[in-house]
Amino acid sequence: DAKTTQPTSMDCAEGRAANLPCNHSTISGNEYVYWYRQIHSQGPQYIIHGLKNNETNEMASLIITEDRKSSTLILPHATLRDTAVYYCIVRVYSGGSNYKLTFGKGTLLTVNP
């Protein structure tokens, strides 16, 4: 299984960019990287996903290294409402044509005023 490693916690000042790193050194060629976040016991919320190219949407940007062994989620202008646990996930093959998302411990991002 392709596992991910993330820092346990990070701080960021409000209005600044938050850069959340993730290592996934055992990722295979056709596995996607997903990012979700969870705000205090609410249901997780999808942020973004990518395979090898950098991706951007209205919430964030995802930068994947050329060797695909690590990625960075960027929240360009963090707000207090971005305080949450951020999960970097590589989907895991579960047999046949099926995959599942395996959530790790994630990074607790605290945005400070």
Partner 1 sequence: DSGVTQTPKHLITATGQRVTLRCSPRSGDLSVYWYQQSLDQGLQFLIQYYNGEERAKGNILERFSAQQFPDLHSELNLSSLELGDSALYFCASSPSGRVNNEQFFGPGTRLTVL
Residues in contact with partner 1 by CB under 8 A are 32, 38, 41-46, 49, 87, 91, 94-95, 98-106
Give min distance, CB of 22 to partner 1, in A.
15
CA–CA gap between residue 109 and residue 101 (Å, rounded): 21
Give min distance, CB of 89 to partner 1, in A.
10
C-alpha dist (Å) from residue 2 to 15, 50, 51, 85? 33, 15, 14, 20
Nearer to partner 1 (CB atom), residue 12 or residue 35: 35
Give min distance, CB of 38 to partner 1, in A.
8
CA–CA gap between residue 28 and residue 9 (Å, rounded): 27
